[in-house]
Structure 1
């Protein structure tokens, strides 16, 4: 059995898959599985993958009806052959020694059951790091303790134990096609630690700045998933500042989901803390509704 499964959920990205494929062919170690989950593509994705039949590693392709990236990740569970899961988007690439690095680190930590994740850096095409990480190499903490409470922003490249990944499938809500993966990383903070490496093994084009109008609209149109994500910040391990921000957003997405004040308060599990926040959530919801949904 291979040790690493690289999962690529994809939707209408047939024109981009070859770039990632080439970077996988250049891996210094090829003992891995590339598991492509096609989330209902209507383009030539299937034909593009057929053209990769001579891949020097194990390649599997599975098609499902469109439901969003989170449903594609859940769908992957029975097909995973590796001990580790590495989620790589279809429009990104890996450094040539990415798999080799992961395998070497796995030998150091696989017997330490409290370690659930090894987190690497993502880099821009110019070689600079996306995340503003300041921790020393091989720093051990949790996603909430380190990233949330210390405001370490920017995407990283997380490799997770397969048994842990399968234990926490991403929530799926009827009619919604987006669920933040941050829900998973936050949830794992209550059960596992993360090793933070100061090494770039993942490259992507990265656009500076905040959410675009389409991005904010996406969040507001998937409010139940966003509410579930916000609630993972409500634990006492999270800083007061982060909790306050996420309670504000929880209320905003509650109104997006057409919930009344009572439902928002009771659903939060933090009624007395949420009570003074709800009026500000309503004001922000009305502003965003006019700006992004009109």
Structure 2
């Protein structure tokens, strides 16, 4: 594992969230450990985000870089940031959230103890407040386990605060597809989780309000409208390392998304991570496709009318 210059980069993709950024900036300025850089990626905002960034940089108490790009979605903003990172670790913090005062310090403490070639990073807790955990806590504090094992096989619920090695994020970039502005982060977290493990720490360092049940109905409609990215988000769950209770419904989704993407079904199955298994799930996958096509008929029609999957870009 090679060393990068610097310790930590906090990356914030944002789209029309100028009113949220001051709170996040204040939480970063209050860090007890200032050894980090903040990269803001403005994903084509049309509000006062550029003005806020310019004013902040003129008097910032922390190192800040701003990358401005054409609107393309959160995943494209993350790719732009990661390509510019020179630090060893990357911590993604959304523009409408904030971090606890000791966040950087705790990342340093944990990584100094657990840094290893087979570790992709650290997974902390998120909270609805600094004291109330979002979703589940980890079964054992400090446990070394993969993203797949902890989040899917064991069913730990709720969004978490992941800190990843930057070299691995460059090795596993977010897939980009023309006209698709939404991509679930599992397109990267899952393949990483099949090869590397993380340290899981029962401490809240990140605060924001999220739904605990995973994708909301709106999120599922985005996946259906952006099927090529959706395929990349579920294909890795065909691995035998994934429990059957997860593999089976993911295979149904893989088949359904392939149909929404108008792919050759035979080729779609053959190029999957487990062709025989996926083929065995074909009837259920086709049924799911027709169910979703009926359920999201209006959203699909609207997306086709404007030429592809549309989403308010890089804000979570």
TM-score by length of 2: 0.88
How many pairs were matched up? 293
Query: Equivalents in 2 of 1:202, 1:173: separation in Å?
Result: 30
Query: Equivalents in 1 of 2:92, 2:194: separation in Å?
Result: 21
Aligned to 1:291: 295
| Offset at residue 244 of structure 1 (A) | 0.6
Which is helix-richer, 1 or 2? 2
Counterpart of 1:280 (choices 266, 277, 284) is 284
Aligned to 2:175: 171
Kindly indicate whether residue 65 of structure 2 is the aligned counterpart of residue 71 of structure 1: no
Contact 2:231–2:257 (CA under 8 A) maintained in structure 1? yes
Query: Equivalents in 1 of 2:130, 2:109: separation in Å?
Result: 26
| Deviates further, 126-135 or 155-164 | 126-135
Kindly indicate whether residue 58 of structure 2 is the aligned counterpart of residue 59 of structure 1: no
Aligned ranges for residues 263-274 of structure 1 at < 5 Å? 263-274=267-278
Query: Equivalents in 1 of 2:101, 2:137: separation in Å?
Result: 22
Aligned to 1:207: 211
Aligned to 1:146: 150
Counterpart of 1:113 (choices 104, 114, 117) is 117
Q: Which runs of 5+ in 1 are unaligned?
A: none
Contact 1:30–1:56 (CA under 8 A) maintained in structure 2? no
TM-score by length of 1: 0.94
Q: Which runs of 5+ in 2 are unaligned?
A: 299-316
Query: Equivalents in 1 of 2:223, 2:92: separation in Å?
Result: 21
| Offset at residue 260 of structure 1 (A) | 4.2
| Offset at residue 290 of structure 1 (A) | 1.6
SS in 1 for 2:66: strand
Q: Greater relative contact order (Cα 8 A, min sep 6): structure 1 or 2?
A: 2
| Offset at residue 274 of structure 1 (A) | 2.1
Contact 2:121–2:199 (CA under 8 A) maintained in structure 1? yes
Kindly indicate whether residue 242 of structure 2 is the aligned counterpart of residue 238 of structure 1: yes
SS in 1 for 2:237: coil
